[in-house]
Amino acid sequence: MRLLLDTHTLLRLLEGNSQLSPLAMGLLVDPEHELLLSPATYWELAIKFSLGKYKLADPISEFIEEAVQLYGLTILPIELSHAEAVIDLPFHHKDPFDRMLIAQAMVENAPIVSADKAFDAYSVDRRW
């Protein structure tokens, strides 16, 4: 199964954070699952790092490359079909990064691994 990671899910995974639910952790470590990473996630992280919400010892490019290698992540490019899907999304969720993740999950028919219950207002399969 292909699984799209929410930004906080990636951070918790990399931190080895116990805040991942048992279900989420099981999904993320299952070698049968392909873990997808959206450019929206590293764009959001770049903004959070620039605002000082998170600190990095290395440049963001190294941080993301390490995550990709360590967890075998596949970059899911933002395609025109994903951007088009955002147009029709109701504004249950106003965060532009999350709206793109929702659109990508819908277009790709991929569950999204996220604790964000606001995603449930959309026709996405949220796993946590």
Mean pLDDT in the chain?
A: 94
Give pLDDT, residue 54.
84
How many domains are contained in the chain? Answer: 1
Give pLDDT, residue 25.
94
Query: Residue 68 is part of a domain; what is its CATH number?
Result: 3.40.50.1010
Q: Is the pLDDT of residue 73 over 80?
A: yes
Per-residue burial over 49-64, b = 16 or more CB atoms within 10 Å of its CB, e = otherwise: beeeeeeeeeeeeebb
pLDDT tens, 19-61? 899 999 999 999 999 999 999 999 999 999 999 988 888 899 9
Number of other CB atoms surrounding residue 81 within 10 Å: 12
Reduced to 3 states (helix: H, G, I; strand: E, B; else coil), residue 39 is: helix
* Domain that includes residue 44, residue range: 2-127
Among 111, 107, 123, residue whose Cα is nearest residue 30: 111
Alpha carbon distance 121, 57 (integer Å): 37
Alpha carbon distance 125, 109 (integer Å): 8
Contact 125, 108 (CB under 8 A): no
Alpha carbon distance 6, 125 (integer Å): 13
Confidence bin at 18 (pLDDT 50/70/90): confident
What is the average pLDDT across 4-25? 90
Contact 12, 25 (CB under 8 A): no
Give pLDDT, residue 93.
80
